[in-house]
Amino acid sequence: MASSFTRLISRHNTAVLLASLGAGTVATGFLLNENGSLAAEAKKKLYPPSADFPDLRKHNNCMASALTPAIYAKLRDKLTPNNWTVDQCIQTGVDNPGHPFIKTVGCVAGDEESYEVFGDLFDPVIKDRHNGYDPRTMTHPTDLDASKITNGMFDENYVLSSRVRTGRSIRGLSLPPACSRAERREVERVVVMALAGLKDDLAGRYYSLGEMTEQEQQQLIDDHFLFDKPVSPLLTCAFMARDWPDARGIWHNNEKTFLIWVNEEDHTRVISMEKGGNMKRVFERFCRGLKQVEHLIQERGWEFMWNERLGYILTCPSNLGTGLRAGVHVRLPKVSKDPRFGKILDNLRLQKRGTGGVDTAAVGDVFDISNSDRLGKSEVELVQLLVDGVNYLIDCEKKLEKGQDIKVPPPVAQFRK
């Protein structure tokens, strides 16, 4: 039975108690509800937003650049329909001040509505991360017509493999940082049921991370398909690793050229890939698979998160728009040693990684080259940009092999304003 003091507190106005008891008394925990826990709304009102504002003085991420005390004061007490807060959005950026080489984003969305409810924060973050794209005034184009790609067959003396990936989120369900166990399992159920309807060269099988055999696990490792529990603080501080491996899994077609990760950093990660340099065929499979999966999901009463300002909605603002990364593993022993290599990539709107991913070194002069942009250009535009850029790099490599000079190309516009 609650004490008489607790019942007294529960019957009186919080403001009156603050005045009569004093803040010190409240701070020691006397402001209790009948269950003995501090009421959430009353707790917020105990301290002004200025007392809650995070210390970002040593931070180097987009969130820290955008979040002012005034914006925080406006957003702190707001909630999305799924009870997600701005403090939960920014926690990963607060806990991870920055990256020595790359300016990180520093915030994530908990649901589709986060980008609207906390737009005063997300809009400038998006503008910063996407090189001036203004979600308040601009619209994002979507185009999945792979027949428009030209010169999409690379010289395979240089290109070893080709890949296109993106993400998709199921509307009405919270994103991975915020989802409940039930929502995560519902994502898995919806996606796996839809994938069962794929036919012909897209037909395949789903492997649950929690239920696969050791033999199946080893095969996925050998195929380089298996994803691990997140260990990066950027992800764990964004609540991505909860309940691992519950409702996570991998689906791939029988040819192992079309792959979908379920409930990793996004509801789904969709990947089309193959050995060699036929990027047009990889992109054609990518577009066809995406369209079929979307159709099968819609048949079951669901749809992907999308709007005309932000394109496809994903967990991290860096992946808004297309969410698309088209890339190749390409041998560039000579051009990669040229002092103009970095400038050439910048002007072509391309980025390089080692073949092991972000922050890894190239092995044997082989680089992972991909498009830098996600938002403001369509899927077709980004893949064509990658195709044109890689063909230019291969041409430079051939010229250097012959002892000829190369030129830095003029800058490619990031998007059409």
Q: pLDDT tens across 160-194, in order?
A: 999 999 999 999 999 999 999 999 999 999 999 99
**Gap between the Cα atoms of 185 and 189, Å rounded:** 6
Interval 309-346: pLDDT, tens? 999 999 999 999 999 999 999 999 999 999 999 999 99
DSSP codes, 182-229: HHHHHHHHHHHHHHTT--GGG-EEEEETTT--HHHHHHHHHTT---PP
Is the model's pLDDT at 414 over the cut of 80?
Answer: no
Interval 119-129: pLDDT, tens? 999 999 999 99
User: Which residues lie closer than 8 Å to 120 by C-beta, 6 or more apart?
Assistant: 71, 74, 75
- Measured at the CA of 168, the angle between CA 165 and CA 171, to 5 degrees, comes to 175
- The radius of gyration of the chain's CA atoms, rounded to the nearest angstrom, is 25
Q: What pLDDT sits at residue 44?
A: 66
Buried b (16+ CB within 10 A) or exposed e, 327-340: bbbbbbebbbebee
Q: Average pLDDT for residues 200-227, to the nearest whole number?
A: 88
User: Counting every residue, how long is the chain?
Assistant: 417
Confidence category of residue 416, pLDDT binned at 50, 70, 90 = low
Query: Lowest-confidence range among 30-34, 225-229, 303-307, 374-378?
Result: 30-34
Interval 189-209: pLDDT, tens? 999 999 999 999 999 999 999
> How many Cβ atoms sit within 10 Å of the Cβ of residue 200?
8
Confidence category of residue 43, pLDDT binned at 50, 70, 90 = low
Asked if 195 contacts 206 with a C-beta cutoff of 8 angstroms, the reply is yes
Q: Which two tokens stand for residue 214?
A: 């050791």
Q: Which residues pair with 304 in a beta bridge?
A: 170
Q: In what order do the strands lie in the sheet with 366-371?
A: 204-208, 249-253, 258-262, 268-275, 159-168, 325-331, 366-371, 350-353
Interval 285-297: pLDDT, tens? 999 999 999 999 9
Q: What pLDDT sits at residue 356?
A: 55
Q: What pLDDT sits at residue 199?
A: 94
- Measured at the CA of 110, the angle between CA 109 and CA 112, to 5 degrees, comes to 75
Is the model's pLDDT at 36 over the cut of 60?
Answer: no
Is the model's pLDDT at 40 over the cut of 80?
Answer: no
**Gap between the Cα atoms of 160 and 276, Å rounded:** 5
Buried b (16+ CB within 10 A) or exposed e, 138-148: bebbeebebeb
**Gap between the Cα atoms of 401 and 385, Å rounded:** 24
Amino acid at position 247, single letter = A
Any idea which residue has 């504002």 for tokens?
A: 53
> How many Cβ atoms sit within 10 Å of the Cβ of residue 357?
8
Q: Which two tokens stand for residue 365?
A: 């002069």
Chain centroid to Cα 140, Å, comes to 17
Asked if 213 contacts 240 with a C-beta cutoff of 8 angstroms, the reply is no
**Gap between the Cα atoms of 370 and 327, Å rounded:** 4
